[in-house]
Copies of this chain bind each other. A is one copy, B any other.
Amino acid sequence: MACFKNSHRLNHASPPRPEAEVLTVGNELLTGSVLNTNAKYLGRELTKLGFQVTAQSACPDEIPSIRRALSLAVKRSRVIIVSGGLGPTPDDLTRESLAGFFGVPLVFSKTQYREIARHYRKRSRPVPSIVKREAYFPAGAKPVLNPFGIALGFIIEKSEKIIVVVPGVPGELVRIFESRIRPYLRKRFPALRPFASLLVKTVGLSEPAIMDRLGRDFFKLGRFQFGIYPSVGEVSLRIYADSSEVIRRLKARVFKTLRNSTYSFHEETIQEAIAKILMKRGWTLSVAESCTGGQIAERITRIPGSSRYFQGGVVAYRDKVKTKILGAPAGILKSRGAVSKEAVAFMAKGIRNQLKSTLGVAVTGIAGPGGGSASKPVGLVYISIASPQKTKVWKERFTGDREQVQDRAAKKALEHLWRWLRK
């Protein structure tokens, strides 16, 4: 995902918020073998709780490195979340590093070991001796049971600092954070008010166009932290403020200036926004895709319950499919080309008729890198929507490589469909 930073800092006239930071442990992060999704998740969750996240760091699986990172973190922040390095192999050294840092021995948790035994019993496998390590925690820490996996987490509170240590397996981390760590932090910081926040999901406008429409006045509406994040074919705004009154004012202004491009104020995709309208109206949908190769169908069928409004689709990659299944006249494909406004209209009408759906959506185009010509260059895409009343066609030109053209075409088709439905 392409993203561009442009965020205005929250001005701290309001009472300062406790500082928190995230320390992720693992060689695989430093060598760039995996994406650090844990740091993103923890940053987002801590911010939502109302902490000011001031640092993020990753360090290798080595006791001196982990201890050095910890000693920096406790100097900077009130709350430190450490994830990773709790596995069973000898290179998993986070628990030893923490024990060493605080000068305490490791002690055994019988309760966690019972969880581990239960985990293996469910899979009808004996407990490997190697995993016994994962039931240890530094003496004096508060153990955090992990019913979602093997490794025990723990919390250390010392001289006003709080160090939370959780496993790095992303699925386990999320479940432990939600069920144990978030409730603990809320209880531990009862006065902490979450930021008031505003999410705006727009489609069809560029980042500069949005900044233009918001205008300079927007930033005089109060004190807030502003982030603008473009991804393929859409731009999200994420705003945090101490005052919900400021958020109310900002939302009203957004509503006024970006109304025709805002598909949601919630954490949802445009296909989810589309699904809601389709269900409300009791309409059904089918798709015929050429250059997007199944992407539109895939995005729609990701949604639970999509079988209520989605009939199915055709990936019409070769002309044979367009004529045979969609009934596009071979003559038209020959005279106007498979990438033409005539062809795309036949595809939309064809899939709609074949599958007896309220709407038919079709896309045809040249994703590249090959297949372009002077009159039909790479990036040329036609989109069509057919309804019982009419069939409409849009001609688009996208830039970028194959993957970008495919993504932009799929997103643009969904944008047209959303605009069609909200009328």
Q: A residues within 8 Å of B by Cβ?
A: 1-9, 26-37, 39-47, 53-62, 65, 69, 72, 84-85, 87, 89-92, 168-171, 225, 227, 229, 238, 240, 287, 289, 291-298, 300-302, 304-307, 310-318, 320-321, 324-325, 354-356, 368-371, 402-403, 406
Report the separation of the CA atoms of residues A141 and B63 in the bound assembly, to the nearest whole angstrom.
36
Report the separation of the CA atoms of residues A62 and B7 in the bound assembly, to the nearest whole angstrom.
11
One of B31, B33, B227, B369 near A33 (C-beta < 8 A)? B227
- A110 to nearest B CB, angstroms? 25
- A377 to nearest B CB, angstroms? 16
Q: Which of A28, A89, A291 has the most CB of B within 10 A?
A: A28
Query: Chain A interface secondary structure, helix, strand, loop or mixed?
Result: mixed
What are 11 of the A-B contact pairs (CB < 8 Å)? A2-B171, A4-B87, A4-B168, A5-B26, A29-B43, A30-B43, A31-B225, A72-B72, A294-B294, A298-B298, A304-B369
Query: Inside 8 A of A58's CB, which chain B residues have their CB?
Result: 39, 55-57
Report the separation of the CA atoms of residues A57 and B59 in the bound assembly, to the nearest whole angstrom.
9
Report the separation of the CA atoms of residues A90 and B6 in the bound assembly, to the nearest whole angstrom.
9
Report the separation of the CA atoms of residues A89 and B229 in the bound assembly, to the nearest whole angstrom.
15
Find out whether the CB atom of B33 lies under 8 angstroms from the CB atom of A55. no
Given the known inter-chain contacts A8-B89, A32-B42, please indicate yes or no for A314 contacting B325, CB distance below 8 A. Answer: yes
Given the known inter-chain contacts A302-B403, A312-B316, please indicate yes or no for A33 contacting B37, CB distance below 8 A. Answer: no
Query: Inside 8 A of A306's CB, which chain B residues have their CB?
Result: 293, 317
Find out whether the CB atom of B30 lies under 8 angstroms from the CB atom of A56. yes
One of B26, B45, B354 near A7 (C-beta < 8 A)? B26
Q: Which of A7, A54, A355 has the most CB of B within 10 A?
A: A7
Find out whether the CB atom of B300 lies under 8 angstroms from the CB atom of A298. no
One of B46, B57, B293, B310 near A301 (C-beta < 8 A)? B293
Given the known inter-chain contacts A312-B314, A321-B355, please indicate yes or no for A27 contacting B7, CB distance below 8 A. Answer: yes
- A240 to nearest B CB, angstroms? 7
Given the known inter-chain contacts A294-B295, A325-B325, please indicate yes or no for A34 contacting B3, CB distance below 8 A. Answer: yes
Query: Inside 8 A of A296's CB, which chain B residues have their CB?
Result: 294
Query: Inside 8 A of A41's CB, which chain B residues have their CB?
Result: 32
* Chain B, Cβ-Cβ closest to A128: B208
Report the separation of the CA atoms of residues A32 and B293 in the bound assembly, to the nearest whole angstrom.
32
